[in-house]
Amino acid sequence: MALFNRINGKELKERLHNSVQARTTISFYKYHQIADPAAFRNELYQLFDQLQVWGRIYVAHEGINAQISVPTERFLDFKTELYSIPFLTGIRLNMAVDDDGKSFFKLKILVRSKIVADGLNDNTFDVTNCGVHVNANEFNQLADNPNTIIIDMRNHYESEVGHFKNAICPDVDTFREELQVVKDLMADQKDKNLLMYCTGGIRCEKASAWFKHVGFKNVFQLNGGIIEYARQVKDQGLENKFIGKNFVFDERLGERISEDIISECHQCGNACDTHTNCKNDGCHLLFIQCDDCAKRYAGCCSQECSDVIAMPAEVQKEIRKGINKGRQVFKKGRAKDLKVKITATDSLIQSTGIK
């Protein structure tokens, strides 16, 4: 059997859009030494393909990082097969909190040098000596402690649409950049409670160990990230300290955690927290766009891109020929054509008293 998808992505997206099959979106990760990531990747692809699992999975010598969707009726079969893999037995599965089953349309498993790009030399510190894992209730208690500083370990385009109250949300493009920014920002605060969170917990797992290595004394991390926090808050009737949306890296682009809308349309400035990708195949910039601007610009980030998609397909291909737009992953929401720019989060930093 083929160990990769052979069907055109647009066709698969259309199938997903028209499908009525119930699917459950989950994520999981595990730091574990994998001797042969390529062989493990191929075995995993065969297993997941048979179960109609779709999603994006990274495999490396240091472990696995997965965001996937599973046919709801086959979820127990999937769980049984996953737990049959020795180092994944009993692993926590983060269940999506705002799930329409339209998160992924194909299975993609990639072998990477790391399961999260952090730029760290793992040989220089003990990556297993991570921070104290806390649940939702413990997180809330720590958040109320005046000796606690809450740090959002995600990128600017994630925290822009949702974050914890009073959290510091560094204006960064990458996790690699964030590590150094937080280290410098907190240089004279190493005796404080450093309370970190991210989407599902994986970034904090490595970051907490590194922050302990560079001298922070009281390091805590939200177990299971925002996804698990939202589930526990709902199930246990706890106060929800997260405001807005939780950005997710799939077709949904966000899970609503509270009804608050804390961001603006990047084109007109009206309240909005709906991320979209520019419809121009030569752009695909990720940005925030309201319904009115989506109609005005035909789902594009600018009038220029809107004009392009109105051209015949052959002309569009000619325009794109030889032009490398790059992944645009590091400049999401910062394009020069956007009228409403993302600003640095000085107000959040000032609210903590940290300069």
Report the half-sphere exposure of 233 (CA within 13 A, side-chain side).
19
Q: Tokens 């199938």 identify what position?
A: 15
Phi, psi dihedrals of residue 149, rounded to the nearest 5° = -120, 125
Q: Identify which of 345, 120, 327 has the alpha carbon closest to the alpha carbon of residue 214.
A: 120
Catalytic: which of 130, 198, 204, 278?
Answer: 198
DSSP track, 229-253 = HHHHHHHHT----EEEEE--SSTT-
- Residue 148 is which amino acid? T
Strands (E), 73-179: 94-95, 107-111, 132-134, 148-152, 162-164
- Residue 207, number of CB atoms within 10 A of its CB: 27
Are 281 and 314 spatial neighbours (Cβ–Cβ below 8 Å)?
Answer: no
Three-state secondary structure call for residue 163: strand
Are 162 and 245 spatial neighbours (Cβ–Cβ below 8 Å)?
Answer: yes
**Residue 198 known to be catalytic:** yes
Structure tokens at 53: 């699992």
Q: Identify which of 149, 121, 106 has the alpha carbon closest to the alpha carbon of residue 210.
A: 121
Q: Which residues are catalytic?
A: 198
